[in-house]
Amino acid sequence: MGEESILYEKDLEKNRATITINRPEKLNALTIDMWNDITQKVIQAERDDDVKVIVLRGNGRCFCSGHDVADLGPHHGWSPDPKARRPSQRRRLIVDDNVFWGRRGTCQTVLYCDKATIAQVQGYCYGAGLQIAQACDLIVAAEDSLFTHPGYRYIGPLGEIVSLIHTMGIRKVKEMMLTGKALNALEALEYGLVNKVVPLDGLEAAVDELANIIALQPRDAIVLGKANFELALDIMGVGAGYTAGYITHTLQTNIRYEDDEFNLFKERQRKGMKGAFQEREKRFSGSPLAH
């Protein structure tokens, strides 16, 4: 991908590490390698005694538009050859466990990080972006932010169910997951998904102010406090929800589509990536809840 796609910066004076998704030409869509890189950089910051706060951000117009379907497809069974053998369930399960949802995956690495984490969100916070941002301790969103997972319309509700229910309440989570409708920034604030909404040109300053306040706390206070949060999350079943997520996601990617249902990978075989997305938009565009 040329230039480094996940950047790591450390500010000793502010006791801060900043992890930036740096693929703006693809709206920061993540590959599996990028997922792994985020995980390793969060661990790097977590183990650094100079770091108190970790900021996760996206370069360019958006935080993250989701997982790159071109990269995701082969793992989930897509091939340009319709006669190609599909990946085994065990192969999918191992990747879903170790990369996405399991204890060694990105979501739980961020969720259980011993340092304070802040997601700095603008534009699309879709799919993988939503999963990573909502695993952070705090989310500061620009007014143009949108939150959802396109996969809700392909394979149904995903592994962040338990975490989002605790955050937003079951009714709103069901509405978002069953319709696939994106939440705008003010809706996300109303439902408790984000902590603060600010103008786009004030986003960086708002995150900076929040991170600075957190960094005034002693290192041990932050780490021990986060350990208490980890215990509370486990008592509430959030970690178990993510662990269940890697199992259910493997099963969901093997669902059968009827002839009148939208199948992303089949449409991609027939019409290519752009054509598949156009077909998806056409299917949902007639509903007032489509966007």
The answer to whether residues 58 and 21 touch, using CB atoms and an 8 Å cutoff, is yes
166 and 275 within one domain: no
289 and 189 within one domain: no
Residue 1 lies in a domain: no
201 and 272 within one domain: no
The residue with greater pLDDT, 113 or 246, is 113
The pLDDT value given to residue 260: 85
Nearest to residue 15, comparing CAs of 203, 219, 225?
219
The pLDDT value given to residue 1: 46
Residue 116 lies in a domain: yes
Instruction: Kindly state the average pLDDT of the residues 238-266.
Output: 85
Instruction: Kindly state the average pLDDT of the residues 260-289.
Output: 75
Residue 178 lies in a domain: yes
273 and 137 within one domain: no
Residue 42 lies in a domain: yes
In 10 A of CB 219, how many CB atoms? 15
pLDDT, averaged across the chain? 91
282 and 143 within one domain: no
Instruction: Kindly state the average pLDDT of the residues 124-143.
Output: 97
> Total domain count for the chain?
2
Residue 187 lies in a domain: yes
Record the pTM: 0.90
The pLDDT value given to residue 49: 97
The pLDDT value given to residue 196: 98
224 and 202 within one domain: yes
113 and 88 within one domain: yes
The pLDDT value given to residue 4: 93
268 and 150 within one domain: no
> What DSSP string runs through 162-196?
HHHHHHH-HHHHHHHHHH-PPEEHHHHHHTTS-SE
The pLDDT value given to residue 288: 60
56-112 per-position pLDDT tens digit: 999 999 999 999 988 876 766 666 677 777 778 888 888 888 999 888 999 999 999
Residue 39 has pLDDT above 50, yes or no: yes
The answer to whether residues 193 and 168 touch, using CB atoms and an 8 Å cutoff, is yes
Looking at the chain, the whole-number percentage of residues with pLDDT higher than 90 is 67
Least confident of 75-84, 113-122, 220-229: 75-84
The pLDDT value given to residue 184: 98
Instruction: Kindly state the average pLDDT of the residues 190-219.
Output: 98
247 and 291 within one domain: no
Backbone torsions φ then ψ of 31, nearest 5 degrees: -95, 170
270 and 140 within one domain: no
281 and 209 within one domain: no
Instruction: Identify the CATH number of the domain in which residue 16 sits.
Output: 3.90.226.10
Domain that holds residue 231: 6-255
Nearest to residue 128, comparing CAs of 235, 36, 7?
36
285 and 176 within one domain: no
Please work out, in degrees rounded to the nearest 5, the angle formed at the alpha carbon of residue 98 by the alpha carbons of 1 and 50: 75
As a dihedral over the C-alpha atoms of residue 26, residue 29, residue 31, residue 34, rounded to 10 degrees, the angle is 100
